[in-house]
Amino acid sequence: MYVRIINKKTSALCSASQLLLSCIVLSAFCVPVAAQLGAPQGNSPLYSSRPYSPSAPSGLPKALEGVGIDQKLNQQLPLDAVFHDENGAEVKLGQYFGNKPVVLSLVYYDCPMLCTQILNGMVGAFKVMSFTPGSEYDVVSISFDPRETSTLAKRKKETYVNYLLDSKRAGAEKGWHFLTGDDANIKRVTEAVGFHYRFDQSTNQFAHASAIYVVTPQGKLARYFYGIEYAPRDLRLGLVEASENKIGTPVDRLLLYCYHYDPARGKYGATVINLIRGGGVLTLAGIVGLLLALRRRNSSTALRTRSAT
């Protein structure tokens, strides 16, 4: 009699578990796709995943008209563009591609405000990431002011390499490149990136937006990260994806299953359906474990009952 009661309870529990399992599996695969596809596409006058076409006046000052960044994901950079490195040597952009992903920044070295913040944000992210410039990835900073010289670029490089941790300075010395060039070659790169800037005669400065870019080893634009602070996690995941998983760890690949790049925001965000599927798998594993434990418990109880009789 005691064994029968246990079996009835176990059957009821199994039925409830099967019902719960069915609901979880159904919800994991029936989540509306709109949860992913309905993300805002972004149409800001300064940052956009598509060319900006305002339906109303933007309200921007005249100096900022035409200034902004249009995402051109998978766009090929002109690797034959010619620049000068921080030592004054003539180089082609393609020299810095081929083996590793590249973090690209478009700045001008004499900028009194925004460009300094961009470079500071890069250093802040580089310090936190376990990846080292010159090892897992390279960095290329290009001045879009054709008046600037290699001498200024060299001073800028010395400043920012010294901001890094001691363990990363040697790698950055060979892997972070500060370039200058003429107007024609600069514009080839900025147009490929979708980086629109404007020189303001009244202030003798450039008006521009802020972002950094992750580029594949083949020279194709893979990720845009906007602003002046760059989340180390996002930058790391961008580099892992750009390298086609040639750098990084299994943990990075697991994170990339749950987090996808959102071009509209220039950030990585959780993918709802993958999170639900992952939760469903974990719940399923928990239910299976519970059922196995109950089965063992019932078996041991039945044995004790038989021994007592």
Sorted by where each begins, the domain ranges of the chain are: 47-268
Could you give phi then psi for residue 3, rounded to 5 degrees?
-65, -40
More confident residue, 286 or 84: 84
What distance in Å separates the CA atoms of residue 93 and residue 89, rounded to the nearest whole number?
A: 12
Q: Are 122 and 212 contacting, i.e. CB atoms less than 8 angstroms apart?
A: yes
- Give per-residue pLDDT as tens, 15-48: 444 444 444 444 443 343 333 333 334 444 455 5
Its pTM surpasses 0.75: no
Q: Determine the topology of domain 47-268 in CATH.
A: Glutaredoxin (3.40.30)
pLDDT attached to residue 257:
58
Q: Are 181 and 109 contacting, i.e. CB atoms less than 8 angstroms apart?
A: no
**Residue 309, pLDDT above cutoff 80:** no
If we measure between CA atoms, which residue out of 263, 305, 251, 274 comes closest to residue 70? 263
- Name residues whose C-beta falls within 8 Å of residue 106's C-beta, 6 or more positions apart in sequence: 141, 142, 144, 189, 190, 193, 195, 208, 213
HEC string of the chain equals CHHHHHHHHHHHHHHHHHHHHHHHHHHHHCCCCHHHHCCCCCECCCEECCCCCCCCCCCCCHHHCCCEEECCCCCECCCCCEEECCCCCEEEHHHHCCCCCEEEEEECCCCCCHHHHHHHHHHHHHHHCCCCECCCEEEEEEECCCCCCHHHHHHHHHHHHHHCCHHHHHHHHHHEEEEECCHHHHHHHHHHHCEECEEECCCCEEECCCEEEEECCCCEEEEEEECCCCCHHHHHHHHHHHCCCCCCCHHHHHHHHHEEEECCCCEEEECHHHHHHHHHHHHHHHHHHHHHHHHHHHHHHHHHHHHHC
- Give per-residue pLDDT as tens, 62-100: 667 889 999 999 999 999 999 999 999 999 999 999 999
pLDDT attached to residue 255:
56
pLDDT attached to residue 252:
56
